[in-house]
Structure 1
Amino acid sequence: MATTNEKTLRLAEFVTWVDTHITGDEKGEAQIFLDRLFKGFGHAGWKEAGATCEKRIKNDNGGTSFADLVWKPVVVIEMKKRGTDLTKHYSQAFTYWTRLVPNRPRYAVLCNFDEFWVYDFETQLDTPVDKLSLSELPSKYGPLNFLFPGDVAPVFGNHQETVTRQAADKLAECFNLMIKRGVEQPLAQRFILQMLMALFAEDIGLLEKYFVTEVLDECKSKQDTYDLLGGLFEAMNTKGGAKGGRFKGVAYFNGGLFAEPARVELDADQRTLLKEASQFNWSKVRPEIFGTIFEHSLGKEARHATGAHFTSPVDIMKVVGPTIVTPWTELIERADTLGRLNELLARIENFTVLDPACGSGNFLYVAYRELKRLEARIYERMAAEYKSVDPQQRPFGFVSTRNFYGMDINPFAVDIAKVTMMLAHKLSIDELHINENALPLDNLDANFRAGDSLVKEDGTRAPWLKADVIVGNPPFLGAKLLKPEFGADYVNKVRAAYPEVPGMADFCVYWFRRAHDELKPCTAADPVAGRAGLVGTQNVRNNASRVGGLDHIAATGTIVDAVDNQPWSGEANVHVSIANWVKTQDDKLLPKMRRLWFKIPPVAGTRKQRRGVGPASKQYELDMREVGYINSGLSDQTDVTGAVPLSVNSNHCYTGQYPRYNDGFVLNIADGKAMIAADPKNSQVVRLFAGGDELLVSGKAARYVIDFQIRSVVEAQAYKKPFERVRTLVLPYIQELARKEREASGRDVGQDQGWLNTWWQHFRSRAELIAKIEKSERFLACSRVTKRPLFMFVSSKVRPSDALTCFVMDDDYSFGILQSQPHYLWFHAKCSNMKSDPRYTSESVFQTFPWPQTPTKTQIEAVAAAGVALRQLRAQAIKNIDGGLRALYRSIELPGKNPLRDAHEALDAAVLAAYGISARKDILQQLLDLNTAVEADLAAGNAVTGPGVPPSYKTPAMLITKDCSGI
């Protein structure tokens, strides 16, 4: 590794060479400049380092652009001619970075031969994490450390997330202390928000530099803070400004935020926190993340801002980009006359955006910033292409914060959002060098509404503010959590107001459906309106949630850009889907190709992966493919939404048992054996117990479970030791749950109280399943949450946990059908999801899956034989590896000949022959057609073939072997 002196000398030689040989021509000199730059950082050249120049990248207009240099997974560099204002080319760098998947570069650099602007879009979207001039390079190369060979971490001087968290911590701690001391919450909130604006104001030029800091230094007592800070806020609310005294010269801010100047007496510790907060450079604090971090820290002394999650701006752009930026960019760049540009200017300055679950306003902040950039692009084109236009003249009004509307149930979050948007105006003026007045700030009281977005107190639908487009991320809450979180009365009120949304839909679905209904249609006269982009739980593309939301949207609209599933930056352990759509199905108004993003793991062994870039939840990338359409399942595959449950498939597929209170019901192997040894009769209720993990890894049950099934409490007491354990460990737990529910609801009935009636039984004992599987020696099962269902026979002596999906089948033919490619494809098309993993659901997957209708005896036996051969190969292979079936199947994705893959291909061929469908045609479409045909025969009373060995096969016992797992 080169020494510091060696690095400095090489880079100094590079600077000298540039001064001597480079004039700054983008096209003619970019590649030689970049080659010498790489040599200056210790490489033989850019080509030798593995970089590519003039890399083809599709742009948002459907054409192809060329990135000057791409070095995956490290950096993309875009060159501009000498003297270029790099501010104007941020969007180009961001677009290139977005498109460079998989193995996307971590950093982006804009360079005009004299300056390097370094971006880290994963943490800071719109502002460089550092800037350095060419002349500074030998002594200040830290921001470009990633260009050196090896894993050299960069050192940035403008990384703003850390400053934002620290600043939020100080204000949040001050607020918490005020509340603890007894200051009324509305007053404390008002004071903190006014203080926040004042701190920003002195560092972004709205107040004299150090003015607030000096006022805070003058505050030596409680009375001083009441008089001086209260006096400052009074001055900020005085039209024309104070005429004299301490606050003479303070400009009028507005009558919204400062309508009621907050006067509070602060203790010494609170004064200290504010003085510490004033030492930060607030121009470096990011408003789009500050609000969320700050809000999440209020009232939670143990949770500081440093631990709060925020929605990253790059995730927000997955909504704002497709819904606002892309359609506007297309219109602006296609405009070919001054008159048309003037029309667009008039339209953009009346264009409105709504976030109906705005929280602290981060989506609206990013939307505002992007819209101001689009407005600036119109002016830029007018001034550059038409001599009659004065670059300083603005013939129309401006895009302002009054173009943006927000709603949220949290009043304080709404107030934070207003402040966030007020700051957005001034920051955009500075970024774009716009000649606009920053003061007074817009009064946004009419633009933001605090209250429930779904229903009013009387149970009718709450009105929404009207806008051209809708963006946001409504609450992530599954259907089963609604009543525990909000109470039955509220949930019933919402469901009554929206009867068209299925009761088992996730909470966010109500916003998806309502947003689509609120939009006016997109038309040729106004192609930028009638659009929406929302983030939802990943279940919005499945089952009841899909029916209630995206199915409704797709009926009269078109999904044009979507992310099928990704971890979300704004919440821990949450996986989401993102849909951007247009309320039209007119092809003339829609892009020819849609963009579908999907999650991929990082490329193994890359510099990015080894460095461990970002938090653990962000260790993934999104790849993108352009597709002809995106269905309401956020997929471009055959849409199997129309597949219906088949009555002939009922009563074959079940979820395993759910004891719920595992400490009471579940035993380790030693304790289970001891309990049976104490009284052999206990073996009737103490049974081996297994889920997917142990069966896939060891093939054996690793636990016992106490299972009284549906025995009465009197019958259960006959098994003394098992009953005593459950009475000791389970009953008190349920009694405590019931007590808490009674206190919370004020009623003597409820779910927890109902459990007291059967406290000795499992929450889900699955009596029907157990009765069926005990009639044979084995049953089929697969893990309920799995990317690839691996089916296995399990001994009927084993009780299956709810981690298993169980099938009441014991024959080799059924195994072959379920383990085949047709069923695998159907599973992925119809499954629900748990975080990032698919989940096998009986209702959507199994009950809709059509079985072969007329297989011959030979075809049935071929499927069974291929299934037996596959299991025999698996059984033999796992003897020689650690990790069982799970480890074995990791090898199937590796290149090269693989006997396991060969066995699956043989099984697939046999199953396709039994179906009579072609591997050369769309298998999903053929299965969907078969589902439709079977349903029609059922409706007509015709005979059909359901799951299991077909009735035409006269000796089904011949298809039953003995191998099984679990014991």
Structure 2
Amino acid sequence: MTQKQEHLDQFVQWCAAHIRGDEKGEAQIFLDRLFRAFGQPGVKEVGAVFEERVKKEGKGTSFADLVWKPVVLVEMKKRGEDLSRHYRQAFDYWARLVPGRPRWVVLCNFDEFWVYDFETQMDSPVDKVTLAELPARYGPLAFLFPDDEEPVFGNHQETVTRDAADKLVELFRALIGRKVPRDLAQRFTLQSLMALFAEDIGLLERYFFAHLLDDCHTPAQAYDLIGQLFVEMNTPGITAGGRFKGVPYFNGGLFAHPARIELTAAEIELLRDAARFDWSKVRPEIFGAIFEHSMDAEERRAHGAHYTSPVDIMKVVGPTIVEPWREQIERTKTLKGLEQLLARIESFRVLDPACGSGNFLYIAYREMKRLEASIYERMGEFKSVDAAQRPFGFVTARNFYGIDINPFAVELAKVTMMLAHKLAIDELHISENALPLDNLDANFHTGDALIAPDNSRTPWPSADVIIGNPPFLGAKLLKPKLGVDYVKRLRRAYPEVPGMADFCVYWFRRAAELLPTCTARDPLTGHAGLVGTQNIRNNASRVGGLDVICATGTVVEAVDNQPWSGEANVHVSVANWVHTQDAALLPASRRLWFKVAPTAGKAKRKKRGGGRADKEFELDMREVAHINAALSDKVDVGSALQLACNANPQIAFQGITPGHAAFVLTEQQRIYFSGSEACLIAPYLVGDEVLGDEPNRRYLLDFGQRNILEARAFPRAFEHARNEVLPAREKAADEGRDEEGNMRSHHRRFLERWWQLSWGRADMLAALAPLSRYLVCSRVTKRPIFSFVDASIRPGDALQVFALEDDFSFGVLQSAPHYQWFHAKCSNMKSDPRYTSESVFDTFPWPQSPTRAQVNAVAEAGRAVRAVRATALQSIHGGLRALYRTLDLPGRNPLKEAHAALDAAVLAAYGFSAKKDLLTQLLALNAAVAERLASGQSVCGPGVPPTYLAGPMLVSADAFGRP
């Protein structure tokens, strides 16, 4: 016996001598001794907390028995208690323990430890171990050891699911590879999938399908035996005799057309390998995996089909279905009221209008069956009700509806929901008939959820709630991925959705139109929860969706921005709303979730769940009074107007996009283009060079607006472009043709002027021409850091460029008012804010009546900030980016002090109060400036105010690119 086992054995013996199993009196000493047995100095010594406060839904506080962030939550129950009854309590505690949410959850009744990994498996523990087994089988609790030992689980179903899925995907691809019709291959795969599940979850005799496969030695036998099994599964009654004696009737939906295929020896072996898995441990998400991997990569991108984890799905199902129902169940005090809830749940309809393989609906079904069970538990409190006699059956798969454009996805969704019924029966120990499976042909529809064949809007089934995860596709990808004709039809059918809105916004808009109103008579209806790209909070996407939702409804819970689970490399937002603004029907507070950096030690522990390293993150939550259409509790600046004085003349630009690497030259290449060709060459600057360390010296070859004959007058430069750029653009134009073989318009434009930069920004260069220097910041940045650049340098497209050369403008743009406005109005690229001139700069109001002294004070404070930066950069490695990170650290900091002085000077120039909300003051000023512009009055736009006559005094000498 090892030393670890000896210590655990001593703990087991101590428990036998001293522990009776009293939850209240013995839980803390039991857990402290457990920690010590695993080599820890004790519960308190490692920083764990007994009786950790966890805020309840609505009002009140609960107390979790032990919380050790970010490692484990332990909830203790008395000896002999059925731990399965406390799953929901443990999950609710875990969900609210943010930030630093524990990686593992343990339910314990002094004799058993049930270990949960809610991040990857919500339905069941990843393992169970008894107290007596602990010395010999401590693997499931190994995360308690000080050396951070890897836990070992016997029921971690994610691995089983993926391995089993791989076998069926391989079978499906083998059938497609030898030209079996796709529809037949899909039906055969799904029917085989059901047979594999059936023999392991008690719908078929144990090993029935496996033994059948053992008898398949030839293609003909596979055709006859497997095909006949599917026929019997589609035949009402129970097969009376013969080879298939005892096979029950499954249904006339999935098996309506029994699939018969002559399998090769290799394909039969794949099915035998699949049958060796314990399919009772395979999670329903296998269907999503099969769905994704059976589609070719291009189709998956085109329709935005992505796997979603259960914990992410609960971010929609929880607020939209579970919490409203749980509140009603808990507040109902009479037997009659509970009976009315049973009647209501029977007619409750859930719709997912982009259902994919049905995972959202599966989890919604599972949660509704648990809600049904909790209604019966409440009814059991009345003496006139025998809680053991539970017919159930009020919630069935027929409560759920789905739409998807992919036929295979729809069939998968049906299978998922059919299995959900049997799995719920087993989990809840309820007396319902598992067979025949529900025929869901009337509930799930294949088709475009947005546009009907006659170009009208597609009708959706009526539903009480709408949930789902619509396709992720940015506005710029709609035409390349879905085709010009489709996009034209889409925009004709939805003219009120801006053309630059993301694809998912159309689902938000349609849901807002069709969702019933939540009323006092029926407070359970009118709820919705959808996942969208994080851009739904911004600009055109917000106008098309969340603005409309918030006009008549209320967002009650949201995730502002997080990386999404699965293969999709996207950042998303989640909005859960109710179609009412009646405060009596809404929760007292709203919940807003937001992304934070992982707690120390959390990132390493997350990897044990199999998660991708680039998706490691944590969410924190705060209860707020309101959530606006930007999915924020801050002042809503969505109503800010674009100001003509900011956009005309244009001042803010995106930098130059070369379009081909050959246009960007090294120092050695620049020398080659000497003499008369030197006029085509200019220094070139990219974002990293402004923010990072010593820049690389780059140059830009730019023919400007010269036509091909004028460009030909520069022979070396022209030959360089013809040899390097022209072949690449010809290849791109040829490979990028549409389905009809036509060259796409942007490829045609680039090919017609192949010697020119993709976007040379002639308008920007014209605006910069009279200036000695100009301002830039990175276009994608969490903190805009502004710098002056010498006018001789051409800025790259990673830079946001401002045709402003004065110190006053630098001070205003680098100050807190502009910083806060930027974060309130920016769009986002994945998790990082992006400077968009239309939404940020064009709406930003400048000080309207600053005095000459106030203008000078801002300019001087701005120069002071740059002076502190220049001094610090002489000794700090990493450039401006590293320097500004010091602002997030505690302690005195000259740069922080310089910025505080600048902010004070800018607030004085605005006439703003530091005690009032800054965004509120800016929004009011935006409205006032817009009103004066509309009435023809003069205003102060960007730059030095026109009343300040000595402008050149404000143009100092410092700039990037100067000695």
Is the shorter-chain TM-score for this pair beyond 0.5, marking a shared fold? yes
Which residue of the partner structure matches residue 567 of structure 1?
563
Separation of aligned partners in 1, 2:774 and 2:438: 68
Matched to 1:13, the amino acid is Q
Matching residue within 584, 593, 597 for 1:597: 593
Matching residue within 463, 474, 477 for 1:478: 474
Matching residue within 697, 705, 709 for 2:704: 709
Which residue of the partner structure matches residue 329 of structure 2?
332
Separation of aligned partners in 1, 2:567 and 2:658: 26
Which residue of the partner structure matches residue 901 of structure 2?
906
Separation of aligned partners in 2, 1:299 and 1:636: 40
Matching residue within 576, 579, 595 for 1:580: 576
Matched, 1:194 2:191: yes
Matched to 1:277, the amino acid is A
Matching residue within 24, 30, 33 for 1:33: 30
Change (3 A) 1:833 1:610: closer
> For residues 763-774 of structure 1, what are the structure 2 equivalents within 5 Å?
763-774=758-769
Which residue of the partner structure matches residue 65 of structure 1?
62
Matched, 1:754 2:752: no
Change (3 A) 1:22 1:355: same
Counterpart contact for 1:689–1:701, Cα < 8 Å: no
Change (3 A) 1:660 1:332: farther
Matched to 1:325, the amino acid is V
Separation of aligned partners in 2, 1:341 and 1:748: 65
* SS, match of residue 626 in structure 1: strand
Which residue of the partner structure matches residue 398 of structure 1?
394
Separation of aligned partners in 2, 1:325 and 1:401: 17
Separation of aligned partners in 2, 1:110 and 1:742: 59
Separation of aligned partners in 2, 1:373 and 1:356: 24
Change (3 A) 1:339 1:376: same
Separation of aligned partners in 2, 1:565 and 1:117: 33
> For residues 292-303 of structure 1, what are the structure 2 equivalents within 5 Å?
292-298=288-294
Task: Give the CA deviation at 1:846.
Answer: 0.3
Separation of aligned partners in 2, 1:464 and 1:213: 41
Matched, 1:432 2:432: no
Which residue of the partner structure matches residue 6 of structure 1?
3
Which residue of the partner structure matches residue 550 of structure 1?
546
Matched, 1:493 2:472: no
Task: Give the CA deviation at 1:92.
Answer: 1.2
Matched to 1:64, the amino acid is T
Matched, 1:81 2:78: yes
Q: CA RMSD in A?
A: 1.8
Which residue of the partner structure matches residue 374 of structure 2?
377
* SS, match of residue 105 in structure 1: coil
Is the deviation greater in 957-966 or in 605-614? Answer: 605-614
| Cα deviation digits, residues 631-654 of structure 1 (max 9, x gap) | 000000000011100000013433
Matching residue within 834, 842, 857 for 2:837: 842
| Cα deviation digits, residues 902-948 of structure 1 (max 9, x gap) | 01001000000100101111000000000011111111111111100
Matched to 2:666, the amino acid is N
| Cα deviation digits, residues 234-265 of structure 1 (max 9, x gap) | 11111112121100101110010011111110
Matching residue within 810, 813, 821 for 1:818: 813
Matched to 1:447, the amino acid is N
* SS, match of residue 576 in structure 2: strand
Counterpart contact for 2:655–2:801, Cα < 8 Å: no
Change (3 A) 1:807 1:600: same
Separation of aligned partners in 1, 2:277 and 2:367: 27
* SS, match of residue 405 in structure 1: strand
Question: What TM-score do the two structures reach when normalised by structure 1?
Answer: 0.97
Separation of aligned partners in 2, 1:820 and 1:857: 19
Change (3 A) 1:397 1:73: closer
Which residue of the partner structure matches residue 277 of structure 1?
274
Matching residue within 177, 181, 185 for 1:184: 181
* SS, match of residue 236 in structure 2: coil
| Cα deviation digits, residues 493-532 of structure 1 (max 9, x gap) | 0000000100010000000010111111011111111011
Separation of aligned partners in 2, 1:212 and 1:302: 35
Separation of aligned partners in 1, 2:738 and 2:938: 56
| Cα deviation digits, residues 836-883 of structure 1 (max 9, x gap) | 000000000000000001111111001000100110110110111211
Counterpart contact for 1:741–1:750, Cα < 8 Å: no
> For residues 113-132 of structure 1, what are the structure 2 equivalents within 5 Å?
113-132=110-129
Separation of aligned partners in 2, 1:660 and 1:572: 29
Matching residue within 665, 668, 680 for 1:667: 665
Matched to 2:863, the amino acid is V
Change (3 A) 1:605 1:439: closer
Which residue of the partner structure matches residue 735 of structure 1?
730
Separation of aligned partners in 1, 2:58 and 2:173: 50
Separation of aligned partners in 2, 1:429 and 1:690: 65
> For residues 950-961 of structure 1, what are the structure 2 equivalents within 5 Å?
950-961=945-956
Change (3 A) 1:286 1:744: same
Separation of aligned partners in 1, 2:744 and 2:889: 56
Which residue of the partner structure matches residue 203 of structure 2?
206
Counterpart contact for 1:655–1:802, Cα < 8 Å: no
Counterpart contact for 1:599–1:621, Cα < 8 Å: yes
Counterpart contact for 2:58–2:587, Cα < 8 Å: no
Share of identical aligned residues, percent? 62
Which residue of the partner structure matches residue 794 of structure 1?
789
Counterpart contact for 1:115–1:132, Cα < 8 Å: yes
Counterpart contact for 1:243–1:249, Cα < 8 Å: yes
* SS, match of residue 246 in structure 1: helix
Counterpart contact for 2:642–2:838, Cα < 8 Å: yes
> For residues 339-418 of structure 1, what are the structure 2 equivalents within 5 Å?
339-383=336-380, 385-394=381-390, 397-418=393-414
Task: Give the CA deviation at 1:611.
Answer: 6.2
Counterpart contact for 2:780–2:829, Cα < 8 Å: yes
Change (3 A) 1:249 1:785: same
Counterpart contact for 1:657–1:762, Cα < 8 Å: no
Matched, 1:20 2:17: yes
* SS, match of residue 516 in structure 2: coil
Change (3 A) 1:661 1:943: closer
Matching residue within 853, 865, 871 for 1:876: 871
Which residue of the partner structure matches residue 462 of structure 1?
458
Matched to 1:74, the amino acid is V
* SS, match of residue 49 in structure 1: coil
Separation of aligned partners in 1, 2:228 and 2:222: 9
Which residue of the partner structure matches residue 652 of structure 2?
654
Matched to 1:350, the amino acid is S
Change (3 A) 1:966 1:117: farther
Separation of aligned partners in 2, 1:755 and 1:704: 21
| Cα deviation digits, residues 27-57 of structure 1 (max 9, x gap) | 2221122112112212232112211000000
Counterpart contact for 2:58–2:589, Cα < 8 Å: no
Separation of aligned partners in 1, 2:677 and 2:114: 73
Task: Give the CA deviation at 1:607.
Answer: 7.5
Change (3 A) 1:477 1:722: same
Change (3 A) 1:547 1:761: same
Matched to 1:767, the amino acid is A
Which residue of the partner structure matches residue 95 of structure 1?
92
Matching residue within 676, 679, 685 for 1:681: 676
Matching residue within 763, 771, 777 for 2:772: 777
Change (3 A) 1:966 1:281: farther
Counterpart contact for 1:87–1:432, Cα < 8 Å: no
> For residues 930-949 of structure 1, what are the structure 2 equivalents within 5 Å?
930-949=925-944
Separation of aligned partners in 2, 1:652 and 1:78: 62
